[in-house]
């Protein structure tokens, strides 16, 4: 008799949904404890994220960055690597975008600058991931330790470069000069308005489309190529991968290069799409939030898109919530976001054994 199996939808839909519901239940208790109505707070949060055109635009704008960092974590995780360096890789990727724009915006048109900026983001992000990847593959240094260290190094390097080399002359703010408009990514509301489609003014720009294309790329790469099979084999059983003749060191390095390149695309959205200059701290924690996005999305591009939209809604809806109910401070909103991360990440297996056991017993009965 064949062994009973748990339906796929249980792991990819039911268990994450229960974890999210529990996170919001605990968040409701926190809001109740400070004397506010959780139902009213939930209404403001949902309205702020999805209730009007501009709110939806901001939600998708935040989700764009989280898609990139979620994909970055996912690709590495498929190979058994826990890349916590997305924050630093995104930071250095933004440096690559900024250097391309600052170098070419006076002499090249948009259709030349945009592809070069994409390449610059990928190369700089991948380059920042290469050293931890090499140390893991060739020297046995743990990827978690080295990527965390490189986040701090990236932050210090950016401060040095912007303050001493790239800051605009005559200004105290640690920013580069503003790019010329031919080095700006177009906003989606500007592209769609000639077609009669009004989506409201928001920072949502062409990078969102690029993020969706990256999801398709990752899906095809991991599940429909020989290299993707090698990566998944390495992540499942490194010993079996070595016995099968897979060059595990090479696969490890390439996985981290791709992961770093994907994280670097955050710079496209923030530097070329929104701020239009090179500045400090534009990553704003997206690299770390991408870990939760990847875990909640079960390391699959479709799940990552949905999880990124959820976190984007928490960012945008949380801002609306803090504005409408002043007693719910931004710190409480961050606590709500943290609860979602806690239950979808660290406590994701809380119900797993019981739910899987229930479905296995039903299948056997």
At residue 346, the pLDDT reads: 67
User: By the 8 A CB rule, do 202 and 63 touch?
Assistant: no
C-alpha distance from residue 345 to each of 23, 58, 160, 311 (Å): 11, 25, 35, 13
Phi first, then psi: what are they for 233, rounded to 5°?
Answer: -65, -45
Give the integer Cα–Cα distance in Å for 129 and 124. Answer: 9
Bridge partners of 187, per DSSP, are 205
What are the respective helix, strand and coil percentages of the chain, to the nearest 5?
75, 0, 25
Reference 205, options 280, 267, 157, 112; nearest CA is 267
262-to-59, 75, 118 alpha-carbon distances in Å: 20, 9, 10
Ranges of each domain in the chain = 68-284
Does the predicted model carry a pTM greater than 0.85? yes
* Cα(328)–Cα(326) distance, integer angstroms: 5
Whole-number Å distance between alpha carbons of 130 and 136: 10
CA torsion angle for 273, 276, 280, 285 (degrees, to 10)? -10
Q: Which DSSP helix (H) or strand (E) runs through 152? A: helix 143-161
Cα separation of 65 and 285, whole Å? 10
Q: What is the full DSSP assignment across 91-120?
A: HHHHHHHHHHHHHHTTTS-HHHHHHHHHHH
**129, exposed or middle or buried, with CB in 10 Å at 0-12, 13-18, 19+?**
buried
Q: What is the pLDDT of residue 1?
A: 39
Rounded Cα–Cα distance for residues 254 and 237 (Å)? 18
180/193 Cα distance (integer angstroms): 23
CA dihedral 253, 259, 261, 266 (to 10 degrees): -160
pLDDT averaged per 10 residues, the chain (length 365) = 68 84 93 94 96 95 98 97 97 98 97 98 98 96 96 97 93 94 96 86 96 98 97 96 96 98 98 97 94 91 96 94 92 88 75 82 77
């Amino acid at each position: 008799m064949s062994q009973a199996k748990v339906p796929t939808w249980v792991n990819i839909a039911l268990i994450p949904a229960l974890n999210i519901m529990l996170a919001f239940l605990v968040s409701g208790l926190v809001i109740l404890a400070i004397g506010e109505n959780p139902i009213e707070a939930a209404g403001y949060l949902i309205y702020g994220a999805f209730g009007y055109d501009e709110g939806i635009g901001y939600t998708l704008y935040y989700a764009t960055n989280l898609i990139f960092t979620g994909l970055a974590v996912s690709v590495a995780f498929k190979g058994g690597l826990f890349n916590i360096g997305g924050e630093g890789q995104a930071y250095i990727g933004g440096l690559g975008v900024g250097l391309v724009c600052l170098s070419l915006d006076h002499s090249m048109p948009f259709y030349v600058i945009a592809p070069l900026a994409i390449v610059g983001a990928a190369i700089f992000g991948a380059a920042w991931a290469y050293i931890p990847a090499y140390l893991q593959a060739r020297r046995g240094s743990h990827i978690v330790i080295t990527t965390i260290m490189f986040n701090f190094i990236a932050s210090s390097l950016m401060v040095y470069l912007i303050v001493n080399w790239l800051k605009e002359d005559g200004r105290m703010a640690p920013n580069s000069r503003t790019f010329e408009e031919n080095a700006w990514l177009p906003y989606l509301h500007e592209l769609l308005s000639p077609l009669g489609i009004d989506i409201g003014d928001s920072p949502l720009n062409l990078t969102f489309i690029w993020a969706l294309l990256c999801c398709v790329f990752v899906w095809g790469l991991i599940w429909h190529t020989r290299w993707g099979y090698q990566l998944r084999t390495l992540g499942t059983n490194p010993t079996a991968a070595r016995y099968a003749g897979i060059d595990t060191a090479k696969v490890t390095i390439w996985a981290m290069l791709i992961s770093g390149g994907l994280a670097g695309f955050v710079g496209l959205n923030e530097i070329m799409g929104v701020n239009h200059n090179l500045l400090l701290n534009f990553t704003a924690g997206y690299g770390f939030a991408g870990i939760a996005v990847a875990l909640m999305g079960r390391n699959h591009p479709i799940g990552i898109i949905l999880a990124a939209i959820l976190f984007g809604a928490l960012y945008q809806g949380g801002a609306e919530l803090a504005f409408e109910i002043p007693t719910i401070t931004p710190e409480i909103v961050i606590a709500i976001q943290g609860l979602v991360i806690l239950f979808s990440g660290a406590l994701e297996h809380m119900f797993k054994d019981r739910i899987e056991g229930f479905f296995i017993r039903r299948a056997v009965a």
